[in-house]
Amino acid sequence: MPYETDPFVRQLAAYKAAVLAKDVGAFSALYDDEVLIFDMWGAWSLQGIDAWRNLVRDWFASLGDERVIVDIAQPHSAQADTLIVGHAILTFTAIAADGQVLRSQSNRITMALKRIGNDWKVIHEHTSAPLDFQSQQAILRYAPT
């Protein structure tokens, strides 16, 4: 499927735009009401859009004047009828109001999307990062191989 028409790539682009705008409504609209999230931060899992929306609202509020730019690398997806499974590497870079880079980290993301009417909604999302064998710390810097 051409890159620009791939529903998974379009979903990631909408995710990126919603994060930059800190738009909780636009971000939440990407997800199904019954979504199951395996996020890297704080909780083992989150069930349902209300739990996910609350976490995202808190994340965006914690940024204050900062913005977060999401860079997308290596997106790939497979579609079967009304389901898509896709994965990518996301790098989140926090930018101060004056444009200064404050911090950056990467993680792996896998999404399962389901077509509901004319829309694609995320029904499951899983983020992760590899662990260093020696330190057992998450590796949050993406280094292409």
Q: Would you say residue 143 lies in a domain? A: no
Tens digits of per-residue pLDDT, 69-87?
A: 999 999 999 999 999 999 9
Element containing residue 26 per DSSP (H, E):
helix 24-28
Which among 140, 9, 34 has a CA at the least distance from the CA of 87? 9
- Per 3-state DSSP, the chain is made up of helix, strand and coil in percentages (nearest 5) of 25, 45, 30
Amino acid at position 50, single letter: D
Please report whether residue 119 resides in a domain.
yes
In a domain, 66, yes or no: yes
What is the predicted pLDDT for the residue at 81? 94
Domain of residue 95, residue span? 3-128
Counted domains in the chain: 1
What are the angstrom distances between the C-alpha of 123 and each of 37, 73, 99?
Answer: 8, 22, 34
The reply to whether 11 falls in a domain is yes
Average pLDDT over residues 125-138: 86
For the segment 42-66, the average pLDDT, to the nearest whole number, is 94
- Give residue 133's pLDDT: 85
Whether 24 maps to a domain, the answer reads yes
CATH number of the domain residue 29 falls in: 3.10.450.50
